[in-house]
Amino acid sequence: MSIKKTFPILCAALFLLYTAAAAQTTKEGTATIILNPLSPGPDEEVTAELRGFSFDINASFITWTRNGSISLSGTGSKSFKFRTGAIGKKEVISATARTIDGKEITATTEFLLGDVDLLWKADTTIPPEYKGKALPSPFSSIAVVAIPHFSSGGFTSSVSDLEFEWLLDGKRDESASGTGKNTYRFTAGASPTNQEITAKVKNNEKDISFEKSVFIPVHQPEVFLYEERPLEGPFMNVALSQKTLHSSEIKAFRAVPYFFPEEDTQSLSYTWSQNGEEKKTSPVHIFQFSSEKSGRQTITLEVLIQNTKHTIQKALAKIAINVQ
């Protein structure tokens, strides 16, 4: 089993720093310890399983020690359950199998519990009033920052002393990788799908290494319609899907784009239509509505926003206006 492990995360996660986990071989036989889960966090129940080769493990008397103290022993005791300590604690798990012919085979795994933040930010359009996260869309720029923390064992938490290797959808980005490069910036692809970003981190001595992945969901951009008030501007509390007006009433509506690439804001075109008939407006993001006919009726108002730099990127919003 490799001493380097991969455990996916969403934004922030806990990780293990493995210093020994490979199969250990003596002239008496070979044994290895497998942890389940492979990536336990602090204060988490873990099952350690001893796997042996070239000897009868079921007939062996097995002694488990944790951090130097005997925790479990017995014939055929192939597994041992324990709860991990707090962040920064070192765990040393050993299992010694005494075979029926008196031979001893020992396996040991050591790890430190640590913490790492893997954070991402998309450079996409959102209005100032929006309190949510700006979501990435096709062709938008995304930045991912890896912030590792070491709290004991003599390991440094200085980013400048760590080597970072970045992978986009499994492919290494050579130019973005290197010592101290804990920020990765990339452009989302053309399709609205998840993009996997992996950060592999090593210390100077390269005897400690770990890797983490984050799956970043890429969304299609959106557009919402809001009521435009003469003295107050857009009423952003409610995105409209329908509106009731009197036949003589004039009302302005504002189209607000969400999640288009920030760098393409000047390349967005607005197309308005009323009951399927295209209408010209000025400014392009505001539509002045007035009923063209008297009497009760329902009118459909639509706006299409399209990125002229990437024409496949567009968003449509519509509202039903009930004229009384």
pLDDT of amino acid 186: 97
Question: Over the stretch 74-128, which tens digit does the pLDDT of each residue have?
Answer: 999 999 999 998 877 888 999 999 999 999 999 999 887 766 788 999 999 999 9
Between 173 and 15, name the one with better pLDDT.
173
CB neighbours (10 Å) of residue 148?
A: 24
Q: Are residues 199 and 244 in the same domain?
A: no
Q: What is the pLDDT of residue 10?
A: 38
| Residue 68 located in a structural domain | yes
DSSP string, 148-179: EE--STT----GGGSEEEEEETTEE-TTT-EE
**Of residues 91, 104, 20, the one with CA closest to residue 62:** 104
Residue count of the chain, please give it: 324
Residue 57 has pLDDT above 80, yes or no: yes
Residue 162 lies in a domain: yes
Whether 30 and 108 map to the same domain: the answer is yes
Instruction: Answer yes or no: is 8 within a domain.
Output: no
Q: How confident is the model at residue 48 (pLDDT cuts 50, 70, 90)?
A: very high
The reported pLDDT for the residue numbered 247 is 84
pLDDT band at 166 (very low <50, low <70, confident <90, very high): very high
Are residues 125 and 204 both part of a single domain? Answer: yes
pLDDT digits (tens, 9 = 90+) for 185-227: 999 999 899 999 999 988 777 666 677 889 999 999 999 999 9
User: What are the φ and ψ backbone dihedral angles of 60, each rounded to 5 degrees?
Assistant: -85, 150
Question: What's the mean per-residue pLDDT of the chain?
Answer: 86
- Rounded to two decimals, what is the model's pTM? 0.72
Q: Where does a domain end: 192, 217, 242?
A: 217
Query: DSSP class of residue 265?
Result: G
Residue 237 lies in a domain: yes
Using CA atoms, how far apart are residues 97 and 52, in angstroms rounded to an integer? Answer: 9
Distance CA 73, CA 104 (A): 14
In a domain, 188, yes or no: yes
- Same domain? For 194 and 174 the reply is yes
- Residues 246-290: tens digit of each pLDDT: 888 899 999 999 999 999 999 999 999 999 999 999 999 999 998
For residue 10, being part of any structural domain is answered with: no
Of 64, 90, 112, the residue that ends a domain is 112
Nearest-10 Cα torsion for 75, 76, 79, 82: -10
Q: What is the model's pLDDT at position 110?
A: 85
Q: What is the CATH number of the domain that holds 313?
A: 2.60.40.10
